[in-house]
Amino acid sequence: MVKVTVCGGAGGIGQPLSLLVKLNPNVSELAIFDIVNAKGVAADLSHINTSAVVTGYQPKDKEDKSAIEGALKGTDIVVIPAGVPRKPGMTRADLFNVNASIVRDLAASIAKVAPNARVLIISNPVNSTVPIAAEVFKKLGVFNPHKLFGVTTLDSVRAETFLGDLLLVSPGYVKGRISVIGGHSGDTIVPLTNVVPDINGSKLSGEAYAKFVHRVQFGGDEVVQAKNGAGSATLSMAYAGYRFTEHIIESLVGNRTSDSNRISDSAYVYLPGLEGGNDLVKLHLNGVEYFSVPVELENGQIKSFVDPFTLLNITDDERKLVDVALKGLQSSIDQGVNFVAGSKL
């Protein structure tokens, strides 16, 4: 049985994500941490007749660390959808000013109270917030790259849905048969469509392929525009965030139910800390150290990753997309690293 803590658990993503976690029979405690309404959301969820005990933690003021420390105490998994979402006209990078310090401070508390927890970061810009958490953990001497994940599952979920639409097959059939690699913003997102021969991207015409790639890369904008100022994807993100959290829980408790023929979901990770990661960085990623790749899990941590360049039949078109992605990623990573270097922890 595991304890899961959701930081930002009263938000647009946090609430439905926490609902899904509450339904998981392997969860013994679900801790909701938020700066608003944490106790209300916890009380509400606690009436659901599943075994997870739900607790709510809300700080009295900015200085009060007892709430976050209570929420993190003894936790196995921390999921972080805390921070502000986009409005129309903004990029994810525009969220850096607010969300960077939120993720930094949460990471510092995790380092102190739950240094062995698996940490799943949803807060944007993911391309920078994951390096921020990693740098905090490094500075505080607790960094384990096998346990830090930028959640990019929504890109896979979108790719499955949109490719299913185009190929006239159910999205369930596409699930786990394509991969999305790279980062989590616009042209840093790289869908790979040719992983299995029976759903070959080359079946799409050039124009259909270009539209598919664009839709996966900019799917987040569709939702931001449709919500028209009321935020970004929350429900599809809660589903995607839970899908990844569930994999972690399954691998922790040792009853993986997922189809082993499927390619694992990707996560945005620090490659030099993983076996074979340095080679990937040098040979294929022009020195970029954070990249989303499919990850194999064991005991809630990364056992290995799937090298897309040798195992996933990358086409020339996809290689070009990777080159574009790498340019955008490096500056976002640098921004995160420099932010922590200039921060007092």
E strands, the chain, are 2-7, 27-33, 53-57, 77-80, 118-121, 148-150, 179-182, 189-192, 266-270, 290-298, 301-305
Q: Among residue numbers 74 through 133, which ones bind ligand OAA (CB under 6 A)?
A: 85-86, 92, 124
Phi–psi pair at 301, nearest 5 degrees: -135, 170
Span near ligand NAI by CB under 6 A; candidates 120-128, 202-210, 282-290, 322-330? 120-128
| Nearer of residues 131 and 220 to ligand OAA, judged by Cβ | 220
Other C-beta atoms lying within 10 Å of the C-beta of residue 342: 7
Token representation of residue 205 = 């015409």
Q: Residue 176 half-sphere exposure, CB side, CA atoms within 13 Å?
A: 13
234 binds, among ligand OAA, ligand NAI, none (CB under 5 to 8 A by kind): ligand NAI
Interior CA angle at 332 toward 327 and 336, to 5°?
A: 150
Site string for ligand OAA, 232-251 (x = CB under 6 A): xx------------------
Residues designated as active site: 184
* C-alpha R_g of the chain: 19
Of 126, 72, 60, nearest in space to 99 by CA = 126
Query: Quick check: 16 binds ligand NAI (CB under 6 A)?
Result: no
| Nearer of residues 69 and 221 to ligand OAA, judged by Cβ | 221
Q: How far is CA 270 from CA 30, 219, 289, 312, 329, in A?
A: 27, 25, 6, 20, 13
Residue from the set 79, 100, 126, 281 that interacts with ligand NAI by CB under 6 A: 126
Span near ligand NAI by CB under 6 A; candidates 4-12, 159-167, 210-218, 278-286? 4-12
Span near ligand NAI by CB under 6 A; candidates 46-54, 82-90, 156-164, 300-308? 82-90
Residue 19's H or E segment, with its range, is helix 14-22
Residue from the set 41, 42, 117, 223 that interacts with ligand OAA by CB under 6 A: 223
Write down the residue that tokens 């510092």 correspond to: 108
Residue from the set 163, 224, 252, 293 that interacts with ligand OAA by CB under 6 A: 224
* Euclidean distance between CA atoms 129 and 139, whole angstroms: 15
Residue from the set 237, 295, 321, 333 that interacts with ligand NAI by CB under 6 A: 237
Task: Detail the residues annotated as belonging to a binding site.
Answer: 8-14, 34, 86, 92, 99, 122-124, 158, 237
Task: Name the binding residues for NAD(+).
Answer: 8-14, 34, 99, 122-124, 237
Binding residues (CB under 6 A) for ligand OAA: these are 85-86, 92, 124, 154, 220, 223-224, 232-233
